[in-house]
Amino acid sequence: MPSIVSVAEAIPVHVLKQDEAMNFARDLFSDSFHDIERLLKAFHNGQIEKRHFAKGLDWFKANKSFAERNQAYIECAVELGTEAIENCLKSNIFLQKEIPYNEIDAIFCISSSGLATPSIEARIMNKLPFSQHTKRIPIWGLGCAGGASGLSRAHEYCLAFPHAKVLVLSIELCSLTFQRNDRSKSNLIGTSLFADGVACALVTGDQADRRSFQKMETVPAIIATQSTMLPGSLDVMGWEVRDEGLFVVFSKDIPTIIASWLKPNVTEFLLQNELAITDLHHFIAHPGGKKVIDAYVQSLQFDPEMTKISLEVLKQYGNMSASTILYVLKRFMEIGQAGEYGLATALGPGFSSEMLLIKWEE
């Protein structure tokens, strides 16, 4: 089966501690909510300590046009995306030798936080020496589910082309969509939660001669995938596109939906692969927020220890939309042992889920 051989991050340089973000939100939103101090508790209840951003805090203190924000997205996405690819193909953790750029057969570029045509991977291919025949598959609009979906689509590509080496590049610069004049509760909660992050994964087919470049004794092979959409749930999560740009849609019902909807999907998916929830060693969850993680535990009746890594990523980086699950996956790849099963899952606009069943193999 196709395997995930390397994962690397490109972490934006600007760091914002949660107390700083809370003070920024207090100044901005205090005139809009009479109970602002109660609402600001979300900044600490979410257990996020710091987040990383493509721009410093002062950049957000002045109004920016949609064009200005999107141009910043393009520039930062190319810079950080280039760094993530370089880190992935030169990883000292996962690779015993560098992978030449011209050996990459396809790039799946995942993003929902900005617009670019030519797309971001095309711009990166003008900076790094990829083959001019490398296939480009930009995927937009999957939000937090995008990283898991990108891995699933790369899996399918490598099933069709078993010699292939494929990159899944996730670029989410959520902060650059920030709307200063949106005084909605959704925007306030989003200000407490979302962050910027970029990551890249290398997925290879069965016949890609992994042993010549793979450093780890075992890597996660993708056994199966499942995409599921909940009908009639378009208003749960996403963007509302207006003249000023992208406005966040973020329903308070998300944890409740997860608690009731996720377990039947997971159970059915595992049953199709002759497994049960108790057979899982690792739960590679996109940490959408503390309440989302709690809903995972409640729904699937996991030991809370199963979500420890996801919570640590949330604590140190916040919700980086599609990129977050790749940060979580990287940490699991450093500890996985042969024969262990893992379930990777993320939820996004639609309202939808993407799941991957993986098994560590030599």
**Alpha helices (H) along the chain:** 18-29, 36-39, 42-45, 66-89, 120-125, 146-160, 185-193, 254-272, 290-300, 308-317, 324-333
Q: Is 90 exposed, middle or buried (0-12, 13-18, 19+ CB in 10 A)?
A: middle
Dihedral sign from CA coordinates of 98, 102, 107, 112: positive
261 to 236, 287, 288, 300: CA distances (angstroms): 14, 17, 16, 10
**Rounded CA separation 304/5 (Å):** 28
Please state, in angstroms and rounded to a whole number, the distance separating the CA atoms of residues 41 and 44. 6
Tell me how far CA of residue 78 lies from CA of 113, 193, 261, 321, 331, in angstroms: 13, 24, 37, 18, 25
Q: How far apart are CA 240 and CA 177, in angstroms?
A: 11
Two structure tokens written together for 255: 């944890």
Question: How many Å from the N-terminal Cα to the C-terminal Cα in the chain?
Answer: 12
Catalytic residue among 76, 88, 109, 144: 144
Q: Is residue 109 annotated as a catalytic residue, yes or no? A: no
Sign of CA dihedral 233, 236, 238, 244: positive
List, in sequence order, every residue forming a beta bridge with 361; answer none if it has no partner. Answer: 219
Q: What is the dihedral of CA 151, 157, 159, 164, to 10 degrees?
A: -100
- Coil, strand or helix at 140: strand
Token couple for 7: 């994962």
CA dihedral over 149, 150, 152, 157, signed as positive or negative: positive
30 half-sphere exposure, CB direction, 13 A CA radius:
6
List residues with catalytic annotation: 144
